[in-house]
Amino acid sequence: MEIDKKAKEYSVFSMVVWVAALGNFVDTFDLLLFGMIRTASLKDIGITSKVDIERFGLMLDNCQMLGMLFGGLFWGIMGDKKGRISVLFGSIITYTIANILNGFVQNVDQYAILRFVAGFGLAGELGAGVTLVNEVLTKEKRGYGTMLVASIGIMGAVFGGFMVKWVGAWRTCYFIGGGFGIILLLLRFSVMESGMFNESKGANVMRGNFKLLFSKKKIWQKYIGLILIGIPMWYIVQMYAKYSPELLESTGKYTLSGDLRKQIPINGIMLTYFGLTVGDFLCSWHSEKIRSRKKAVLRSMITSIIAIGIFFALISTGNITNYYIAIFILGTCAGYWAVFMSVAAESFGTNIRSTVTGTVPNFVRGAVVLVNLGYSFFKFNLHQSAIVANLGIGTIVFIAAFWGWSKLDETYGKDLNYIEQ
């Protein structure tokens, strides 16, 4: 069912795109901040052994990602029922307050609750922003608009790394993240609601009905497929960047302690996300050139597997510099987040689009919980090395991703002006 289309034509560089891009920037900064200050913050509240830092770090990651799972569902449905703008305001207020409070934690229990709340709030940012951008731009421009949102957003992790190095104090880093949220909140007042959403409110259809995604086999397979193709990117960030000290030590060629152990995950996250930014530009450009989202995603997944092989070859030298080179290459090859988000936004109708773009990326991020649990099972229950645990989970992740890819439709140039029934 189509709806009337009367909307102002926006530029790729219009305020709505910049606000969405900066929102994703702050989102990524806050999301990855814990990974950068994990060791310092846990030591400061009394967790001192390497084993406990890894175990509690995984637990706190899981709390944050579970928050994103629940938040993705809540904010996604809210975006279809109440509007994209309402989500942009509600989510930023939630995670801004949570991140400021993170700067005051004194024990692991407080930390866990606040990482959950922060994750819940962060879950609304990307989906609402991408949905809004895709609905206000023409089909010729929306791929570039999403590329800008995703690429600038990813640079939030790179900026975060520099800031952590410069500021040092982990509590202050959380306060700065909260300050960015307040600034972004003020910018939100300049953005108007999507014309497509406003016009769809007059249609006699259910909006934000999550059950609709499971009403037909083709629809739920497409939805699950979207989630599965995104997980490899977060598997790489989690296992190769965030937990890089444990991975490097598992080779038997690295002895990490003191400041070096603290700096490696910070540098690893920065270089991974710098690579993801480069990769996003390249994958988006490639997608536009070949006029296919689906083929561009497939090629990125294949090159990611090749890059993993290169990664292990380089780190086997025992040279930290080679790790940094390897993680940048891996990030570049896995940089298809922008195209992935375009496919998510383009695959479903206006009445369910925010639910999809709100839940899919956050279910992908939330799947890190399963990645962590799988990794922990291999390492702590089966007593395997970090490398074996890493590759065991990676094999499962990529097999699932290729199945998911096979269930997707080509969405390049698709008219988004329709209702899902």
The answer to whether position 59 is within a domain reads: yes
Q: Which amino acid is at 410?
A: E
- The alpha carbon torsion through 177, 180, 186, 192 (nearest 10 deg) reads -90
The answer to whether position 295 is within a domain reads: yes
The answer to whether position 8 is within a domain reads: no
User: Total domain count for the chain?
Assistant: 1
**Residue 342 sits in a domain of what CATH number?**
1.20.1250.20
pLDDT, position 233: 93
CA 86 from centre of chain? 21
The answer to whether position 5 is within a domain reads: no
Q: Which domain holds residue 294?
A: 15-189+215-406
Q: Bridge-partner residues for 265, per DSSP? A: none
Question: Considering only CA atoms, which of 154, 131, 153, 151 is closest in space to residue 142?
Answer: 131
Question: Considering only CA atoms, which of 372, 410, 364 is closest in space to residue 390?
Answer: 372
pLDDT, position 286: 92
The answer to whether position 209 is within a domain reads: no
Kindly list the distances between the CA atom of residue 388 and the CA atoms of 314, 351, 378, 394, in Å, as whole numbers in the listed order.
Answer: 17, 44, 8, 10
- C-alpha triplet 64, 67, 69: angle, nearest 5°: 115
The answer to whether position 418 is within a domain reads: no
The answer to whether position 135 is within a domain reads: yes
Q: How far apart are CA 68 and CA 184, in angstroms?
A: 20
- Buried/exposed code over 275-289 (b: 16+ C-beta within 10 A; e: otherwise): bbbbbbbbbbebbbe
Mean pLDDT by groups of 10 residues along the chain of 421 residues: 48 80 84 82 85 84 86 83 82 90 91 92 82 77 80 81 85 90 84 62 61 83 94 91 83 78 82 90 90 94 96 91 94 92 84 82 84 87 86 95 94 73 65
Q: Spell out the residues 6+ positions from residue 182 whose beta carbon is closer than 8 angstroms to its own.
A: 96
The answer to whether position 280 is within a domain reads: yes
- Buried/exposed code over 46-85 (b: 16+ C-beta within 10 A; e: otherwise): ebeeeeebbebbbebbbbbbbbbbebbbbbbbbbbbebbb
pLDDT, position 351: 76
pLDDT, position 1: 37
pLDDT, position 125: 82
CB–CB of 73/119 below 8 Å?
no
Q: How far apart are CA 104 and CA 101, in angstroms?
A: 5
Q: How far apart are CA 227 and CA 250, in angstroms?
A: 30
Q: How far apart are CA 390 and CA 395, in angstroms?
A: 9
pLDDT, position 381: 85
- The alpha carbon torsion through 173, 177, 180, 184 (nearest 10 deg) reads 170
Question: Considering only CA atoms, which of 88, 304, 84 is closest in space to residue 200?
Answer: 84
CA 174 from centre of chain? 19
Q: Which two tokens stand for residue 39?
A: 């060791």
pLDDT, position 261: 76
